[in-house]
Amino acid sequence: MSSYENYTQTSAVYDHTRVPIGLEIITAALSSGSANRDQQILLDAGCGTGIYAFALVDRVHRVEAIDLNRSMLSVARTKMRSAAEHGRIGFTLGSIAQLPLKTQSVNGVMINQVLHHLPDQAGHGWPLHHQVLKECARVLQPGGVLIINSCTHEQLEKGFWFYELIPNARTTVMRKIIPEKALDALICGVGLTLNDRLVDLDSVLQGESYFDAEAVLDYAWRKGDSIWALASNHELQTALAQVADLAAKNQLQSFMQRYDADRPALGQTSFSIAIKN
């Protein structure tokens, strides 16, 4: 379960804005694995509503989609009923910290925007992250590929223009995101070799709606980024008042452009790609 977002509520509107990004990066990473991609079994760990599984299910032999939230998983299941009937995807309610899969049973694992939801303890060496990575290493076949899609601290600072409206929430989410060096050390420690770190510079997590500045005022739009769950009511109300005020003064577009200036060169999320030794 996420340590802060209510995904049971969010499941109803998550797909209004969220789009899968970095699909070519993921596909190329899978192709670099030891098995032919069209024969691969791909684990979507923390699949949510299945936006990545849906986009990739036809590029591999089968997807195993796992999520801890029943409502998110139910949206995914509805979306891919036909693929499930044809045996191309399976859905399991469960935790990625205790994968309900046999040892060495998959060729690829992708973890898209999930790790920061673990109720982990940075000060104690990120034990839950370690447990999740250990599980991923266990279920991967030798030569299999792990792909972790997660924001860096720099991307959180400069890759999302509206985070400027909720600086305290940004500070809080940064504490939940494992720094790259710590992630690299954990990856190595579970018997994987980090091969690459790549960024999709052309895409953003909320698609075209990211550029619709007034959409900040819309609850469903805000549900497309769990950072809003980390804003106190006071911070949220202040942010909404600021947006309304900027819009009334015709300054909202320039605000967005100012705080989006670095994002095109930084991207919003990074893909760490590791191989099972």
Shortest distance, position 7 Cβ to ligand SAM, whole Å = 4
Question: Which residue number, 66 or 140, has a Cβ lying nearer to ligand SAM?
Answer: 66
Q: Can you read off the two tokens belonging to residue 221?
A: 């739009």
Residues in contact with ligand SAM by the rule CB under 6 A: 1-2, 7, 18, 46-48, 51-52, 66-69, 72, 95-97, 112-114, 117-118, 226
Residue 8 and residue 71: Cα distance in Å, rounded?
5
DSSP state for residue 255 in the 8-state scheme: H
Spatial strand order in the sheet of 140-150: 89-93, 62-67, 41-45, 106-112, 140-150, 270-276, 192-199
Q: Which residues share a beta bridge with 273? A: 147, 196
Nearer to ligand SAM among residue 148 and residue 252 (C-beta): 148
Query: Shortest Cβ distance from residue 235 to ligand SAM (Å)?
Result: 20
Closer residue to ligand SAM (CB): 24 or 245: 24
* CB neighbours of residue 237 within 10 Å: 11
Residue 94 CB, nearest approach to ligand SAM (Å): 7
Which residue, 48 or 159, is less far from ligand SAM as judged by CB? 48
Rounded CA-CA distance 195/211 in Å is: 33
As measured in angstroms, the least distance from the Cβ of 84 to ligand SAM is 17
Q: Which is nearer to ligand SAM, 62 or 117 (CB)?
A: 117
In the complex, least distance from residue 95 CB atom to ligand SAM, rounded to whole angstroms: 4
CA distance 188 to 167: 33
CA distance 19 to 202: 13
